[in-house]
Amino acid sequence: MAGTEWLIKGREFIHCNCAYGCPCQFNSRPTQGNCHAVGVVHITEGHHGGVKLDGLNMALIVSWPGAIHEGHGHVVPIVDERADEAQREAMLRIMTGMDTEPGATFFQVFSTTFEKVYDPVFAPIDIGIDVDGRTAHLKVPGWIDAHGEPIKNPVSGEPHRARINLPHGFEYDTCEVGRGWAETKGPLALSIQDSHAHFSAIHMTGSGVVH
């Protein structure tokens, strides 16, 4: 792997327009035939070379007209406004698949499918992620307003718990599955209602997910 060595640990919330469970996780086509999503990573511990990333956040608004692997995607990268210039550059390099082995992380894989990358947004990212509780909120003023919650049993109304384990995955090892809602503004204006969300602890490097 060429480039700067990096590592991030933290928590992730992803919400897309697929049915609960998301067929993309099983190499099937997306439920609606296309993919629209928002995502955020809170870095509890991380670095890119000598640049510390602890406590910072990074988010994405993404859209593909078909399945992700078919390309033609668009993305708005969003970086925590608290990051200094070196931290901004470091997170953007990670988010765009730089300094990463091919296929090693979802950032790198996604980067090969984008035909349009909008200018990065530097903004406050208000997030809260409870992986085990399957709850999250994500607010980026003027860009994203999203939240996640557990799936409810349609008979009892009780929270339903399901997990996905991808032992060779490029995003997470195990995620908790829930549902989410999102409204976005800007060049990728989306409205995603009561559809798949997942919540996970993440640990990845330029060589891939640490399983």
The predicted-structure confidence for 10-68, as pLDDT tens digits, reads as follows 999 999 999 999 999 999 999 999 999 999 999 999 999 999 999 999 999 999 999 99
In the chain, the number of structural domains is 1
> Nearest to residue 106, comparing CAs of 39, 152, 28, 171?
171
Q: Give how far Cα 145 sits from Cα of 83, 129, 132, 134, Å.
A: 21, 14, 22, 17
Residue 39 forms part of a structural domain: yes
Residue 1 forms part of a structural domain: no
- Please give the model's pTM, rounded to 2 decimal places: 0.96
Tokens standing for 132? Answer: 């085990």
How far is residue 57's CA from residue 36's CA, in Å, rounded to a whole number? 20
Please provide the size of the chain in residues: 211
Residue 89 forms part of a structural domain: yes
Residue 147 forms part of a structural domain: yes
In the block, residue with structure tokens 């091919």 = 102
- Structural domain containing residue 28: 6-209
Tokens standing for 152? Answer: 């409810």
Residue 163 forms part of a structural domain: yes
